[in-house]
Structure 1
Amino acid sequence: MSFTFNGMPTMARQGDSVAAALLAAGYGSTRRSPVSGAARGPYCMMGVCFECLVKIDGRPNQQGCMTNVAEGMRIETQEGAAMPREEG
């Protein structure tokens, strides 16, 4: 199945998590630290560490290791800590 990462067409296997698909495609960094700006990437792969946060289809703070890739998904690097939008 196909998806994009930072606008680049990328392929995944059915059932892959976003984090696993990105690692398999050679992408080691999925976000930047809000403190130092250092590159961060998937670490625990089981939803505990939050190092794999990405923006998926415009929604920030999504755990890549806990989300399966879907056809046409738009995944982007998350820069720092994304603040929730205020409704109203």
Structure 2
Amino acid sequence: MTGLGWFAAIIIGGIAGWLAEKFMHSNMGLIMNIILGIVGAVILNAILMAVVGTTLGGWIGQLIIGFIGACALIFIARAVRGRA
């Protein structure tokens, strides 16, 4: 995550994953929430850097990015599981 340490990334990732879990009506768990929040933020930050050339900074910006990325990952997982 841009400009954040590992501890902050875990906290923000957990919050973003938890918010995405509630928003998407999914039942994951604490560890999966953290993973989804962090991975979602990393992927979405990479996409933003490639397309726009910049990303949102700070705790709030990364929380927003993590939330959107985690929601996208939950959506993709549901789509893949629905077909399998």
On whether the aligned pair clears a TM of 0.5, the verdict is no
Report which of the two has the higher share of helix.
Answer: 2
**TM-score normalized by the length of structure 1:** 0.29
